Amino acid sequence: MRTLEDLDVEGKRVLVRVDFNVPLDHGRITDDARIKAALPTLKELREQGAAKLVLLAHLGRPKDREPEFSLKPAAERLSELLETEVALAPNLDDVPDVDVVMIENVRYEPGETKNDEELAKRYAALADVYVNDAFGAAHRAHASTEAVAHLLPSAAGRLLEREVATITGILEDPKRPLVAVVGGAKVTDKIGVLDAFLERADSVLIGGAMCFPFFAAQGHDVGASKCEEEGVEPAKRALESDKLRLPSDLVAGKDFSEDTEVRELDGVDVPDGWMGLDIGRDSAEAYAAVIAEAGTVFWNGPMGAFELEPFAAGTRRVAEAMAECEGTTVVGGGDSAAALAEFGLADRVDHLSTGGGASLELIEGKTLPGVEALS
Ligand code: ADP
Ligand code: MG
């Protein structure tokens, strides 16, 4: 993959694809981590004498040009962080000639998600060279991440470079023991990752709703727990591995709510009408002990419904263990990152990936189109 060392930007107009797909609440940015993560590249380009920065980014999944998907809040936040005026161009035909300009949501353009060549040419016409720093969008072959990279001299920005290096480092040459902690809700999305770690890691710790297909496969009662049916067959296969660790106790609730009735279960059989919403105390301690001894830990997916205080303890314990671990600690996944931030531990891990889907695909061994285009 080409990096900024391979690209001459002095006096050039630089088209930069960034990942500013930030969470918004009524037009306010609730977490600006992705904008901050792009700053090193943007600053470096300016220091290296780039004549102009033209930024491309997407926000959400607009169907049309709905104003709630405008990048205006992101442009304003970037302006504050860069301490420079950042203009927002409403479309590709009205791009003001200023030092830093962001083009409105690329997904307002119908050709963007189709990797449309004509649209890519219109992007390319705005600059002399192209830099992709949008790791979170690198698993998509879109006009602003893939097609355009072939039309200009191109390279990866520092964030994309670091994300790829960190995750490939874990897979290819980890300090051992390598521990993977896999939880969360989207079980079927994570089966590939689970398989990859069962092959490479020394221990794989399972938490969150990810547990229940395993417990179902073992013949336990799962009650009303969230248990994806498609996960049960892959779980059966994974159970054959001696690296796999499942919780030995659970915290259950009657409903998915903060003020529901709560029960600490001694084992992992969930009674009828109850749902398992967190790993239990013994399990959390056992997982923390494995993490403490790790040379490298990769964590994706919370251990329970951490958004609800009665079910946050398992995730908090794992987050604390990550923070205290002397090995290399890497976290991927939007909700896992949100959990760390909520516990005030976000800066206590070595690498907090900005790309959930992209980091999982990289771990599964897939090539990312946005990365491939820079190779
Ligand atoms: P990430 O974004 O880190 O990849 P996911 O999106 O897969 O993680 O999962 C996060 C969600 O999983 C959280 O909203 C959390 O409430 C939910 N979750 C975790 N454990 C359970 C559980 N036992 N039952 C239901 N939902 C759960
Ligand atoms: Mg998520």
| Residue of 208, 301, 357, 370 marked active site | 357
Q: Active site residue: 304, 334, 355, 356, which one?
A: 334
- Euclidean distance between CA atoms 82 and 9, whole angstroms: 19
Q: What is the pLDDT of residue 188?
A: 85
> CB-hemisphere CA count at 13 Å for 101?
23
307 lines ligand 1 (CB under 6 A): yes
For residue 48, how many other CB atoms are within 10 A of its CB? 15
What's the rounded mean pLDDT across residues 262-277?
A: 98
Any catalytic annotation for residue 60? no
Cα distances from 362 to residues 135, 193, 332, 351, in angstroms, run 11, 9, 11, 15
- Say yes or no: CB of residue 314 within 6 Å of ligand 1: no
Note the pLDDT tens digit of each residue in 164-217: 999 999 999 999 999 999 999 978 889 899 999 999 999 999 999 999 999 999
What is the overall mean pLDDT for the chain? Answer: 96
For ligand 1, say whether the CB of 300 is within 6 Å of any of its atoms: yes
CA of 335 to the centre of ligand 1 (A): 7
The ligand 1 atom at the shortest distance from the C-alpha of residue 336 is: 3
Per-residue pLDDT reduced to its tens digit, 117-134: 999 999 999 999 999 999
Q: Give yes or no: 186 in active site.
A: yes
Ligand 2 centroid – CA 338 distance (Å): 9
Mean pLDDT confidence for 5-13: 98
Answer yes or no: pTM beyond 0.75: yes
Ligand 1 atom nearest to 256, measured from its CA:
25
Is 357 designated active site?
Answer: yes
Task: Specify whether 273 is catalytic.
Answer: no
pLDDT of residue 251: 98
Q: Buried b vs exposed e over 336-365: b needs ≥16 C-beta within 10 Å? A: bbbbbeebebbebbebbbbbbbbbbbbbbe
What spacing in Å lies between the alpha carbon of 157 and ligand 1's midpoint? 31
Sorting pLDDT into bands at 50, 70 and 90, what band is 225?
very high
| Nearest protein CA to atom 27 of ligand 1, as residue | 305
What confidence score (pLDDT) does residue 334 get? 86
211 Cα nearest atom in ligand 1: 23
Question: Quick one: tokens of 97?
Answer: 């000639």
* pLDDT of res. 356: 86
- Asked if the model's pLDDT at residue 163 lies above 90, the reply is yes
Q: Is the minimum distance from the CB of 369 to ligand 1 under 6 angstroms?
A: no
Ligand 1 test: best mutation among 335, 342, 353, most atoms within 8 Å of CB? 335
The confidence score (pLDDT) of residue 339 equals 94
Q: How far is the CA of 335 from the centre of ligand 2 (A)?
A: 5
Taking 90 as the threshold, does the pLDDT of residue 74 lie above it? yes
Average pLDDT estimate for 142-167: 98
Asked which of 226-235, 277-286, 364-373 is least confident by mean pLDDT, the reply is 226-235
As a residue count, the chain comes to: 375
Query: Which residue is closest in CA terms to ligand 1's atom 18?
Result: 305
Catalytic residue among 140, 162, 186, 317: 186
Structure tokens of 1? 């993959």
- Mean pLDDT of the 146-167 span: 98
pLDDT of residue 186: 76
- Determine whether the shortest distance from the Cβ of 226 to ligand 1 is under 6 A: yes
Helices 356-363 and 158-172: angle between axes, nearest 10 degrees: 40
Average pLDDT rounded to a whole number, residues 218-232:
95
355 pocket-lining for ligand 1 (C-beta < 6 Å): no
For the CA of 338, the nearest atom of ligand 1? 3
Beta bridge mates, 253: 262, 275
